[in-house]
Every structure is written in C-alpha cells, then in structure tokens.
Amino acid sequence: MDQASFLGLRALGHAPVIQWTWIYEREVNLDGLRRFHHNLGRGLLGRRIERSPLPFGRHRWITCRGPADIAIASEPRFRHDVQAWLDEQAALPIDPEKGPSWRLSLQPLVEGGAVVTLVASHTVVDGVGLVIAVTEAATGITRDIAYPAAASRTKLQALLQDSRAVIRDVPGMLKSLLATIKLAGKNRADIGSKKPRATAATAQPARTVIVPAVTVHVDIGQWDERAASLGGTANSLSLGLAARLGYRLNWLAEDGSVTISVPVNERLPQDNRGNALTAVTLIADPLTVTEDLTGVRSGLKTALTDLGDARYELLAALPLTPLVPKRAARRVEGLVLKSRVIGSSHVGDLDPAANRPDGTDADSFAARMSEHITSDHLRRVGGIFFPLVAGRVHGEVWVSIGFCNADGTTTREQLKEVAHDALADFGMTGTVE
C-alpha cells in the first residue's frame, strides 16, 4: 500500500497533506512544545522514502527526524488572519521523499495566545496513524523503528538487494495482473458509462488555487442527541452532513444521490505502515437524511459487511502501480474524480492528550486534508471536494470542509454559508470558522 500510494501520487503529480491545528488563548509552553516536536521525529513521522535504483524496484523507508526545530513566526498576526496563515503553512513544501515529510509551526497572535499547526505528508502517515503519532508524542512515547540511514547502501548493494526483491515479487505481480484483468472486465460497463462533465475551454495560464476551507464546531451533546433522534449514530450523522453538503454544493450523481467513500482503518498495534486502510462506498439520499439516518446507517453496515470483496478489488492492482503509464493514471483519475464522490473520514473520539501539544489543553482543535491545486486541474476534473474530516475532542465535534468549483471562484464566505445552512438542515447550530 505504501509503495503504491507513493508511486500513484507521483504519477498524478499530487502531494496531499494532513493538517492539524491547535489554538491557544494563552501563551504556549515552548519547552513543552519542543518536547512534543522532538518526540514526533521519533515516532511514525520520523522517516522518509528512499527510492530503489531499479525502475520497478521497491522503495524503502529511511530514518528522517524532520526539521531541527519548530518554525516560529517572527511577527504576531491578528486572529482574523489565522486561516490565511494556515493556508500558507499547508502550501509550504512537504515531500515524503526529499523531505521534510512533516513540519510543526507556531504563530503568536496580536490579541494574545497562539496557533500551532502540524502538516504531514499523507504518504508518510494516514489519518489514524497521525492520531497515534500525535498522541504518543504528547505523552512522551517514542518508537524504536530502526530504519536505515539515508544512503547507507552502495549503489551495487542496492541493485543486488532490490533485484532479488523484484524476482520474489514476480509471482505476486502476475497474480495481480490476472485479478486486474478480471476486475476491468467486470467494471467495463460502469467505467464506460461515466460521462465526464464538460468544462469550458480556456486559454488562461495555470495558477495555484487556494481551495477554500472551513471547520464546523458543534457541542458533542447536541450532536449525539440529534443523531439519536434521527435513528443514527455520531458517525452516520457525519455521513448525513456530507450528503447534505453534497446537495448544497451540487456534488451529485446524475440521479440526485450522493456517493460517499468512507476509509476503513486496518492499522494493528505497533503497525508502522504509512497507510493502513481500505475504503467502502455507499449511496445516500440527500433529501431524506435530515429526517431519517437509518438508511445511511444500514448502508454503511452493509458496505462494511461486504468489505472482503471490495478490499480485494481495491488491493488487487496495487503491485502493478510501478508499471502504469502516467498518462493512463491521469485518465483513470479524471474518470474517478468526475464521478463526484465525497470522502468522509471520522476519526472518532481522540485521546485528550492529542489536544495537548505543549502539555496543556488547547482551546480549539481542527484537522483537515489539503493539497496544492492548479486551475488546470480544477477545470480538468470539474472542481475539487476534499475529504471531510470529522472527530471529537474537548467537548466538541469538528468537521472540516474543503471545496472549490471548476472555475475556482468559490470563496470561504460562500463555503461558511453553505456549512451553516447544512447544519440548520439538521436543526443544529455551531460555529464555523
């Protein structure tokens, strides 16, 4: 999975990151924050990728502790500039191969207090992996993973070792090829029926687009009470909210339904994989979820029950990733993204320690997905809807939302209004920032 994730993202030119943010209304304990920073580099984040010298060789993890220190801003900023600063931090170079693969930054505020943000490559760690990495670092736990140092092999040693590994992998690649051919035949009609949404041609040069992002905060008691009253759970309410956001942002299938992809954690104790997950997909009716969540709840249950076959299909082609031409990968990406799927990740109840990067409770917390997006990419795929990320900590439920239409004109204010309206659809109130 890690090899396929890295090669797939490189082929498509993507570099998704996960961003965690803590806001303190008081002065941050720098000594505590530096201990946290030190420990992060000695856990799941303390690594990067070293390529094999063989074109189709298996890459490997090597030790990389990360930046030498916290990136502390020299000048304070106003509270209303926090989101702009977070966007700037998410846009700074993070690379799972060249490094740094993560970064911890601190921004003092003019009004007092400060913002702390952690940005990490999704190739190095997935959502649950980052929960573990942060919780362990905050509680003083480190891992002795003992990855090799960078360039610890001569080129000849690397060629010999990786050649033997490729030979061992050949039977698995042949098996994957047969499974992929079978899967392609099964899904040929579905793929052929996905009609790309037309976008207007333009001669404008490509530019970087900052995808608007907001975070919803709702009291846990209110969230749980509303979920129960609709026959759902805390998780199914987040899926219902995703469906309603899809409706309000016109991220719909041709029949008006919303397709939701839900990552499923497969991480085991002491599991050091970067990405240890699979996914299930369900269909939601955005017109009924505000009155009844039983359909979403049962749909998720059915999808999880059928996960065995879906997981096999998802993983079948992974060993073939190095052999896929970039052009073909981009074509498949376009088909997938234009199918208007909404990712929805619910990390559940965080350990209270995850909200204590400096050793004390932060006053506010949020987590989101982010990535560099160009205007060309937006036009090609018809807009972008980052996976929703939801969780619970410090008495609140948070849900992060990132969205931009195909022409790049969506604003944060528009997205905030949509988020408020979607909450109101469920009879809930909260803050959106």
Residue type, 65: R
Instruction: Report the pLDDT value the prediction gives residue 194, as an integer from 0 to 100.
Output: 47
- pLDDT per residue rounded down to tens, the chain (433 residues): 677 677 766 766 678 999 999 999 999 999 999 999 999 999 999 999 999 999 878 889 999 999 999 999 999 999 999 999 999 999 999 999 999 999 999 999 999 999 999 999 999 999 999 999 999 999 999 998 889 999 899 999 989 988 988 888 777 666 655 655 555 555 454 444 444 444 444 455 678 888 999 999 999 999 999 999 999 999 999 999 999 999 999 999 999 999 999 999 999 988 999 999 888 999 999 999 999 999 999 999 999 988 876 555 555 555 555 555 556 555 555 545 456 899 999 999 999 999 999 999 999 999 999 998 888 888 988 999 999 999 999 999 999 999 999 999 999 999 999 999 999 999 999 999 9
pLDDT for the residue 205: 62
Three-state SS for the chain is CHHHHHHHHHHHCCCCEEEEEEEECCCCCHHHHHHHHHHHCCCCCCEEEECCCCCCCCCEEEECCCCCCCEECCCCECHHHHHHHHHHHHHCCCCCCCCCCEEEEEEEECCCCEEEEEEEECCCCCHHHHHHHHHHHHCCCCCCCCCCCCCCCCHHHHHHHHHHHHHHHHHHHHHHHHHHHHHHHHHHHHHHHCCCCCCCCCCCCCCEECCCEEEEEEEHHHHHHHHHHCCCCHHHHHHHHHHHHHHHCCCCCCCCCEEEEEEEECCCCCCCCCCCEEEEEEEECCCCCCCCCHHHHHHHHHHHHCHHHHHHHHHHCHHHHHHCCHHHHHHHHHHHHCCCEEEEEEEEECCHHHHCCCCCCCCEEEEEEECCEEHHHHHHHCCEECCEEEEEECCEEEEEEEEECCCCCCCHHHHHHHHHHHHHHCCCCCEEC
Q: What is the pLDDT of residue 169?
A: 72
Say what the pLDDT of residue 170 is. 72
pLDDT of residue 373: 87
CB 1 within 8 A of CB 273: yes
Q: What is the pLDDT of residue 207?
A: 81
Torsion of CA 25, 29, 34, 37, to 10 degrees: -30
Q: Give the per-residue pLDDT at 181.
A: 58
d(CA 21, CA 28): 13
Are 37 and 104 within 8 A, CB to CB? yes
**pTM (predicted TM-score):** 0.89
> Please, how many CA atoms are within 13 Å of residue 331, restricted to the half-sphere of its CB?
7
Contact present, 300 and 280 (Cβ < 8 Å): yes
pLDDT given at position 237: 98
Give the other-Cβ count within 10 Å of 111's Cβ.
11
Distant-in-sequence, close-in-space partners of 235: CB < 8 Å, separation ≥ 6: 300, 346, 348
Domains of the chain, each with CATH number or no CATH: 2-157 (3.30.559.10), 175-349+372-432 (3.30.559.30)
Return the pLDDT at 321.
59
> Is the separation of the CB atoms in 338 and 382 below 8 Å?
yes
Model pLDDT, residue 168:
83
